Amino acid sequence: MATDTSSVLIVEDEPELADLYASWLEDAYAVETAVDGVGALETIDDTVDVVLLDRRMPELSGETILGAIRDRGVDCRVAMVTAVEPDFDIAELGIDDYLVKPISKAELSELVEQLLLRSSYDEQLREFFSLASKKAVLDAEKSEAERKSSEEYARLQDRLAVLRARADETMSTLLEQDGYRRLCQDLEREPGDRGEK
């Protein structure tokens, strides 16, 4: 797609919902939809900036599509937008964010904006915000007892702590660049800017 407009692919097996999401985003982005995994895999290439991926779909699951995206080396941000309640396995998924349906137009627009912003970060910062987003989802959806008993959650916290320590050096570099203001916007959101269910 030869355009300066960022490209968003919505992979949603409910066509009405895919069309609704597309209508919410089409004024700001070049939006394509796929209503199944096969269509998604045919559409995904290096021109796609953001993929909004349903987790549970017939034939090819969201995880399968995610694996194909990563295997192909497509450099895009991926968020699960799904009715599947998150479990601790999301800590290991190669996603940038996880939203539980139903979602509003404002939530979807903010998600895409944040994912595009993260595309400008280096790999370390992208991983940091990916893990922080997953932690925020789990903090909102799981009890303290469940979190304390989860090995996946403990590993997520440990990795996040390591990345947080390294982020100081990266932020010093960004202070000298234009990206600092935008990074601060994402940092303000990082600790768990999730609405109550």
pLDDT 10s digits, 135-194? 999 999 999 999 999 999 999 999 999 988 877 666 666 666 555 556 666 666 654 554
Using the predicted structure, report yes or no on whether residue 14 has a pLDDT greater than 60.
Answer: yes
Residue 61: CB atoms within 10 Å = 16
- In SS3 terms, the chain reads as CCCCCCEEEEECCCHHHHHHHHHHHCCCCEEEEECCHHHHHHHCCCCCCEEEECCCCCCCCHHHHHHHHHHHCCCCEEEEEECCCCCHHHHHCCCCEEEECCCCHHHHHHHHHHHHHHHCCCHHHHHHHHHHHHHHHHHHHCCHHHHHCCHHHHHHHHHHHHHHHHHHHHHHHHHCCCHHHHHHHHHHHCCCCCCCC
Q: What domains can be seen in the chain, in order of their start residue?
A: 7-189 (3.40.50.2300)
pLDDT 10s digits, 115-129? 998 888 878 888 888
157-193: buried (b, 16+ CB within 10 Å) or exposed (e) per residue?
Answer: beebeebeeebeebeeebeeeebeebbeebeebbeee
Overall pTM > 0.85: no
List of residues 6+ apart from 167 with CB closer than 8 A: 124, 125, 128
